[in-house]
Amino acid sequence: MARISAGLATSHVPAIGAAIDLGKTTEAYWQPVLAGYDFSRRWIAEHKPDVVVLVYNDHASAFSLELIPTFAIGCAESFAPADEGWGPRPVPTVQGHPDLAWHLAQSTILDEFDMTIVNRMDVDHGLTVPLSLLFGQPAAWPCRVVPLAVNVVQYPPPTGNRCYHLGKAIRKAVESFDQDLKVMVWGTGGMSHQLQGPRAGLINRDFDTRFLDRLTTDPEGLARLPHVDYVREAGSEGIELVMWLIMRGALHADAREVYRFYHVPASNTAVGHIILENPR
Ligand code: DHB
Ligand code: FE
């Protein structure tokens, strides 16, 4: 049977992708950002997943304001890199896992989560920057990826609580999949940031620290945080953090924090990263 071994969450700042792609990671601005992932690259090499269910948001690369699925699962064989801003990143095509993705779709939809099934989709920095942070610059990504896109761009995004419970449904689905696979669930986005308006550049270290603490120790309580608190305290784009609760819901209640990194700033954001392991 398949099982979820661990989860992690990380910011997906597009400028980090550009820094990696343009060979700027040893520059003074970027070196401490990348150094925060040194542990994680060693850790994942030791705990290599077969598949990552990668929770992210699209930034108008695959979907536009014409079509905005709340939760969309990528069931294709592969997903090509695409992006706004700097353009498609020069990174490998992402290989999917259609059997697992269809099983996840079936199981979660029958558990009353109305997932959108996507059979063709390009993937942007929301998905590829986390892969680069954890795996570096390989010729091919070392595992399969099931993309799970969440609307955090157009109001109303799903609640944190809905995300947390979707995570639980994903865990049930993975644990009922009849192939012997080691699966990780990743949540991306965050931490506090606001990209536009009079509060552009907002960063809230206290909020971010409390969020990281509660993600491990009080996920049920954290899941009940209303949208307005994210926006007020973590900025308009801080709402991306609801995606981390999908990862958390997919793990055991007593998952253990094995690593944490927090750094300000990268581009206009606070970079946050956490690794949680399930008990064996
Ligand atoms: C930026 C964009 C993002 O999508 C994000 O999650 C963080 C930062 C940016 O443009 O700086
Ligand atoms: Fe983003």
Distance CA 129, CA 134 (A): 9
Q: Which pLDDT value is given to residue 59?
A: 95
Peptide bond before 138: cis, by omega within 30 degrees of 0?
no
Confidence of residue 148 (pLDDT cuts 50, 70, 90): very high
Summarize pLDDT for 15-49 with one digit per residue, the tens: 999 999 999 999 999 999 999 999 999 999 999 99
How large a percentage of the chain has pLDDT more than 70?
A: 100
Atom number, ligand 1, closest to the C-alpha of residue 11: 6
The partner residues of 256 in beta bridges, in order of sequence, read: 277
Measure 97 CA to ligand 2 centroid, in angstroms: 24
The residue from 12, 103, 193, 273 that is catalytic is: 193
The single residue of 12, 125, 165, 273 carrying the catalytic annotation is 125
Beta-ladder partners of 263: 271
Q: What is the pLDDT of residue 224?
A: 98
Distance from Cα 221 to the centre of ligand 1, integer Å: 27
Residue 71 predicted with pLDDT over 90: yes
pLDDT at 280: 84
Instruction: Give 136-145 pLDDT, tens digit per residue.
Output: 999 999 999 9
As for ligand 1, residues whose beta carbon falls within 6 Å of it are: 12-15, 59, 189, 193, 195, 237, 240, 267-269
Decide if 252 is catalytic. Answer: no
d(CA 261, CA 272): 6
What residues have CB less than 8 Å from 124, skipping those under 6 apart?
Answer: 58, 59, 61, 62, 81, 82, 83, 84
Q: Is residue 121 within 8 Å of residue 147, measured between CB atoms? A: yes
DSSP symbols for 72-118: EEE-SSEE-B--STT-S-S-PPEE--HHHHHHHHHHHHHTT--PEEE
Residue 144 DSSP SS3: strand
Confidence of residue 216 (pLDDT cuts 50, 70, 90): very high
Q: Which two tokens stand for residue 113?
A: 């989560």
Question: Would you say residue 85 has pLDDT above 90?
Answer: no
- Judged on CB neighbours under 10 Å (0-12, 13-18, 19+), 270 is buried
Question: H helices of the chain, where?
Answer: 14-21, 31-35, 38-46, 98-110, 125-135, 160-175, 205-217, 219-223, 227-234, 242-249
Indicate whether 86 pLDDT > 90. Answer: no
What is the distance in A from the centroid of ligand 1 to the CA of 67? Answer: 21
Establish whether 227 is a catalytic residue. Answer: no
